[in-house]
Every structure is written in C-alpha cells, then in structure tokens.
Structure 1
C-alpha cells in the first residue's frame, strides 16, 4: 500500500510539473506591459497629488471598467472614465489638445501604461501613467471618492475591528 501511495504521489507530482510549463500568453502580456513602460513615463502618487493640489491643467483618465469605478476613484477637475478597450475610439472624439498633459491610471498599473502607450501612438505628446494605479495611490495615503463620499483607507488593524 505504501508503494502504491508513493507511486501515486510521484505520478501526481510529475503531472503537475508537466502542466506547469510557462504560459506564453501571460509571458506576452507581461512583455507588452514592460515594453510600454519603456515608452511611457510613470509618475508617483505624490506627483499626481501635486498636480491636483497645484490646480494643474491636465486630464485624468481612469481606464478601469465602469464596474470598477464605483468602489473608489481619484478626484480631479478634468476626470474621465474610459475603459482600456475603448480608449482608441473615445478619446480622439473628445477634442483634447494633443499637447495637453494626460495622466492615465487603472487598478495596479498595467492597463494604465498600455493605454498611455496607445495615446502616444495616436499622437498625444504629453502622456504619463500613475505608477501602481489606484492601489498605489491608496497605499500612499491619498483620498479616494465613491458614492459614500471621500475618504482615506486605513489598514484593517487600525479600524479596531481586528481581533
């Protein structure tokens, strides 16, 4: 019985290692994001906050899906939610000058940098991406807005609810 279980375990381990080969689609996706980061400047959450506080003339484009936005968004004077899949079609219709500063963001950075790269390819000259996306923004301690209001998130341990 022990030999049977050992043989079964070895067979299972071998099967998992055979199917655990590299995922070429995931590798290509990572390569696309990495290549986009070579073309697009990224700004920190602090740099974006400085733009907002300084009342800079820029456009903030949230490229998350419309379903993601109600959880939390970054407030800016000129804010648009245009999902990553529609950016090529929607932004050119908005008559935003090609030399105006555009800041893109998503959840953690990947879609934002791909959107920024696309905008650069379309002819927008002053496009940057928020490094770390809204997650990085929140982790830096900056406020977000949702239908309940504007707030800062705190670690769960600081809420008094943790045991």
Structure 2
C-alpha cells in the first residue's frame, strides 16, 4: 500500500470544516464577535513569526488533552458553548485540529484559510509573542 500524501488527505477533508478568511476573521474580531482564537503552531513558530493578537497557544499535540474538560490538562478557555477559530502556519494542520475539536463535540469551530501566512499577507496585526514569552528566539 502506498503512503497517502498528507496535503491531498488534508485537502479531501477541507469541505468538512467551516472556514474563515483572514479578512473575515479580522472583521469578526473587530466587531466584538466572541471568538477564541487558537494557535496550534509549534512554540518556536510563534516566537519567531509572532501571533494573531490575543490568540491562545495550544500545541497541536496537546489540543485534545487541553480541550477535554475531564483531563487534568484542561484549559478553562475551552468551554462547550465556545466559538473557536484554529490556525497554523498555512492552513493544513488547522483543518485536522478543527476536525478533532468537532469530533470531540465542539459545535462552533472554524479554521483560518491560509493560516498565519494569509493573516500576515493580508496586513493584519501581528503580536510579538517573543516579547511576552520566557522562551527566546534562536539566531
């Protein structure tokens, strides 16, 4: 059996996940829409590139554990009635993450089309995550 290409697989899953563009997300945040923005990139990506302002960093490998209210790892910003937008660097990992949250029972989940790269390209504000992190940028 041949190994399935990851991006082809992710692309086949995209129709199952509600999507917001960078402009749509920015508009919703500006209007005061109560969205919780989840950054699932690796910590070093967040430190090196910055983040969408006020987003929560949830490493992809910990998402299900932090989102599960029965786990000791649970984070209080994950609530059943919450509204979540998940993003990664380019919009692939966020499809998988959004599907995971939906499979867990979260009903209001979107992924950011094009990820952080699309957010940056659209000229949206970027928070300097390194400024408030105890972790350092590596040269």
How high is the TM-score relative to the length of structure 1? 0.69
SS in 2 for 1:99: coil
The aligned residue for residue 43 of structure 2 is: 66
The aligned residue for residue 159 of structure 1 is: none
| 1:94 equivalent among 58, 67, 75 | 75
Shift of 1:26: 5.5
Q: Which runs of 5+ in 1 are unaligned?
A: 1-23, 150-163
Which of 1 and 2 has greater Rg?
Answer: 1
Q: Which has the higher helix share?
A: 1
The aligned residue for residue 95 of structure 2 is: 113
Distance 1:25 1:104 in 2: 27
Is 2:112 the partner of 1:135?
no
How high is the TM-score relative to the length of structure 2? 0.80
Which has the bigger relative contact order, CA under 8 A and spacing at least 6?
2
SS in 1 for 2:127: strand
Shift of 1:148: 5.7
> Could you list the runs of 4 or more consecutive aligned residues of structure 1 that deviate by over 6 angstroms after TM superposition?
none
The aligned residue for residue 31 of structure 1 is: 8
Q: Which runs of 5+ in 2 are unaligned?
A: 69-73, 133-139
What RMSD in Å do the two structures reach over aligned CA positions? Answer: 1.8
Distance 2:81 2:127 in 1: 28
The aligned residue for residue 5 of structure 1 is: none
